[in-house]
Amino acid sequence: MREAIDNWVIEELSMPLDHTSPGLDALLIAAVLQMELSPRDNRVAEKRYKLIPSHLEREGSPLRLHVDNALVYAQGSRAIGTTIVHGADEDRFDLDAILEFDTPFGWTPRRVLDELFEAFQGFPDVQDIERCTRCIQLRFAFMHLDVTPMDPALKPRPERVGAIYHSPDEGHDERHKVNPYGFAEWFKGQISLPSQMFQAQVRSLRNQLEIKDRLRPSIIVADADIDELPETVDPIQDAPQLLALKLMKRYLNLRYVNRSEKRPISVYLSKVAAQIPPNSFGICAQLEDLAAELDRRMKYALETGRRPEERNPAFPQENFNDRWPQNTRQMEMFRGDLRHLFAELQRARTSEVGQIQKIFDGLFGERISGNAVRTYMDSLSNSPQKNTYELGKGFVATPALLTPGVARAAATSKAPAHNFHAGELRKK
């Protein structure tokens, strides 16, 4: 049965580009930009990061004598520019930080986490604090901040290599050598920036969006200059790999919201996304490439009985998948999600804009898709070019929003087959 389904998917992927919706990429870009944080959200969240050292060093803190030389820096999605609103709860997002300080003599992982939990009590505006297996989670209105303590490795050491603590409610304490900083630097070095024209068009579309502020500046005490801080848009945020990664993360957030099974961790998805070259056929094809490669790896793991270990390129001792997947069921479930995403994208390629919105509702959330369509339509109404609507194709996107390769291909060529289960990505 599976083989028959696999063959059906492969055949469906042979669809030529000029039989698809030319506006699909523009709608996907508008959708992913709706998932981003507002400039004010980013600024307020950054302020909370900056409060970490002073709070831990305050009078009465149980860690005051141990963190005077501590180093705090971002890790995860914040470090590589892929933070998005979660989706299951539209207004929530999370940020991750590393807190580097030397482990006091004789302290176990459990004690480090327990002491850090106590030290964070009374943090400004926090609503709840949870002592997790590897981090302390500070929960605020509309966001939470995960702070992971790290014991820096002895010098000389690769930059910011250290050990994080693992202390579950049941089981033994452990230490795991990691280098999240090194991974973030590797990730950014892997990403190929799109053309200046593409960046300018995405930035213009971002400026048209009306993204509500989730975090109000008043929640940060004595910070009068918060609204005056300049907005910075890192060009890497507009790279096709990052746009596809954000769409994949949002889609999986919604798929797993009512499940008890663990979902694939973000750093694993991020590494795979960075290893896939930019696709000249656009953002939809980029997302399909990411789904295809993840599916290939899951298929290989299931057929060989080997866990899909994914090592940190900057520090191979670190296995990103040390806690996922826990069993074959989780891999099968993930494969099913990938196939569902791909099938829905294929359906969107031959749908009218109204039907595309319904498809996006299921993939990325109703608010995101509705705002994306409105933004897209507004961009067309403001375009000096004539906008046309064709049955089965929808509204034709502003050509500049598409990559030069897409524009040429739409006019003169056919898109090659995408071997979703054949184990190879499309040749660039």
User: What's the pLDDT tens digit per position in 299-335?
Assistant: 999 999 998 999 999 999 999 999 999 999 999 999 9
Q: How far apart are CA 362 and CA 365, in angstroms?
A: 6
The pairing of strands 174-178 and 136-140 is unpaired
pLDDT (average), residues 376-390:
57
Angle at 339 between CA 188 and CA 416, to 5 degrees: 70
More confident residue, 178 or 209: 178
The pairing of strands 93-100 and 143-152 is parallel
Domain segments of the chain: what residues?
Answer: 2-37+193-412, 40-188
Q: How far apart are CA 194 and CA 241, in angstroms?
A: 10
pLDDT exceeds cutoff 70 at 152: yes
pLDDT band at 350 (very low <50, low <70, confident <90, very high): confident
At residue 93, the pLDDT reads 87
pTM listed for this prediction: 0.83
Contact 18, 32 (CB under 8 A): no
pLDDT (average), residues 382-404:
45
Q: Identify the top-confidence range among 43-47, 57-61, 86-90, 384-388.
A: 57-61
Q: How far apart are CA 402 and CA 385, in angstroms?
A: 15
Dihedral (CA of 46, 48, 52, 54) sign? positive
pLDDT digits (tens, 9 = 90+) for 40-64: 888 888 888 889 999 999 999 999 9
- A 10 A CB-CB count for 183 gives 24
pLDDT (average), residues 274-286:
91
By CB atoms closer than 10 A (0-12, 13-18, 19+), residue 235 is middle
pLDDT exceeds cutoff 80 at 72: yes
At residue 196, the pLDDT reads 86
Rounded to 5 degrees, φ, ψ at 343 are: -60, -40
Token representation of residue 5? 């389904």
Helix-then-strand count for the chain, H and E: 14, 11
At residue 403, the pLDDT reads 45
At residue 389, the pLDDT reads 38
At residue 10, the pLDDT reads 36
At residue 382, the pLDDT reads 64
More confident residue, 103 or 382: 103
Architecture of domain 40-188: 2-Layer Sandwich (3.30)
pLDDT (average), residues 194-203:
84
In three-state form (DSSP H/G/I as H, E/B as E, the rest C), the secondary structure along 104-165 is CCCCCHHHHHHHHHHHCCCCCCCCEEEECCCCEEEEECCEEEEEEEEEECCCCCCCCCEEEE
Buried b (16+ CB within 10 A) or exposed e, 94-133: bbbbbbbbebeeebebeebbbbbbebbeebeebeebebee
pLDDT (average), residues 145-156:
95
At residue 217, the pLDDT reads 54
pLDDT digits (tens, 9 = 90+) for 162-191: 999 999 988 899 999 999 999 999 999 999
